[in-house]
Structure 1
């Protein structure tokens, strides 16, 4: 790790003096979109993840609360489709769906909020492993949490665009990826699932994470970009494989 905490190495490999002075919370939130290098340089000196973590959890809460009727309907349709592939009678299926509906809104929202927290802590650990082991650098969990949570603020823009579309069209099937060009009947096709992982906001988030890791680990941005990109593709690939296998066994 570079002993000079007042410098960082940008994506071109040039060591650049860090901006003097600490950034305020608002400055860092705005800066992650407009000047991510300065923001992550500030976070490298003074890690801070609780504020952005609270923001992304609150964002998850708002999104889930407003879109709950659509989320619930989509969940019931998926559950019905899965149950219809089993040996259960129609009456048993209806009772199972009724139980799910009676579980209510609050448990569903709470589970999504908790999963948002769990995912944040797990991903930060994965990024620390990638940086310290795969890339051979040295950093701390707190810094990786800071990089991940501030990068996740891209969700503010994503939600501001997606949520009105979801509410107006009454569907969760809103895509900002090549999947948007596929017909609806292809949503279970392998090509559709592969296309869907290349979401523009996910790509933006990965780029921000790579910039942050590049600054924290004092390396070119390309190195963490490749590592994080490959990790994302591997996780997405496993998710698609599990989805296809479950559909095959269910059928």
Structure 2
């Protein structure tokens, strides 16, 4: 139902209870996918590509000349349209994967639940990020440029502890601080409420599974950036 993505933000308990017999997920997925594409497109339009090229060369201990910078900017401009398409295609796949991880985790915890119910809970629990995307739009539009670090960490909208990381902080440390986010916490709360209903799990079990999956995600992200 189209009203569920809104109601889950206002009355999550009753909204998730209404999904018990009739799980739905198309509406929240569509909203999230379109807003993610919008914000990523706006971000790319204002990304300081020249600075991104300089940082990439600096990481290799090199300094780019003007020709190399121009070449990088041109390549980025050519790939900008592809980036939007990649977001549209990859986003639903990523959400389905997240739903599968939660479904599998609750199976390991001894709770029976259909995969479709897990997809429904996951999609609706991600709706705080739709709010984040809407709040990000005016912030992005007000900026003349966005740094590569802001684009990579998603810190255009100051909602995490990422702003505490100094400019020369290690990527892994910056990623850890960025993971402590207001909208992540909101999403986690909705996941606990949703899976407590869908998986008929206790609050303790739901909190444990959600925390375990979140910590696993953060660990993978930090490990990847530390390579």
Q: Same fold (TM over 0.5)?
A: yes
Alpha-carbon deviation of 1:122? Answer: 0.7
1:181 pairs with 2:164: yes
Inter-partner Cα distance in structure 2 for 1:163 and 1:188: 28
Number of the residue aligned with 1:110: 85
How do 1:42-53 and structure 2 match up within 5 A?
A: 42-53=18-29
Q: Tell me which moved more, 34-43 or 190-199.
A: 190-199
Inter-partner Cα distance in structure 1 for 2:165 and 2:211: 24
Gaps of 5+ in 2: none
Q: 1:83·1:93 contact (CA, 8 Å) conserved in 2?
A: no
Number of the residue aligned with 1:204: 186
Task: Report the 3-state secondary structure (helix = DSSP H, G, I; strand = E; otherwise coil) of the residue aligned with 2:177.
Answer: helix
1:158 pairs with 2:132: yes
Inter-partner Cα distance in structure 2 for 1:225 and 1:100: 45
Aligned length: 217
Number of the residue aligned with 2:45: 69
Aligned match for 2:141, one of 153, 164, 167: 167
TM-score by length of 2: 0.83
TM-score by length of 1: 0.76
Distance 1:123 1:189, change over 3 A: closer
Distance 1:190 1:124, change over 3 A: closer
The CA RMSD over aligned residues, in Å, is 2.5
Number of the residue aligned with 2:17: 41
Alpha-carbon deviation of 1:81? Answer: 2.3
Alpha-carbon deviation of 1:89? Answer: 8.0
Output one character per residue of 1:60-89: Cα deviation in whole Å (capped at 9) or x when no partner: 12222333312x435x64454234444888
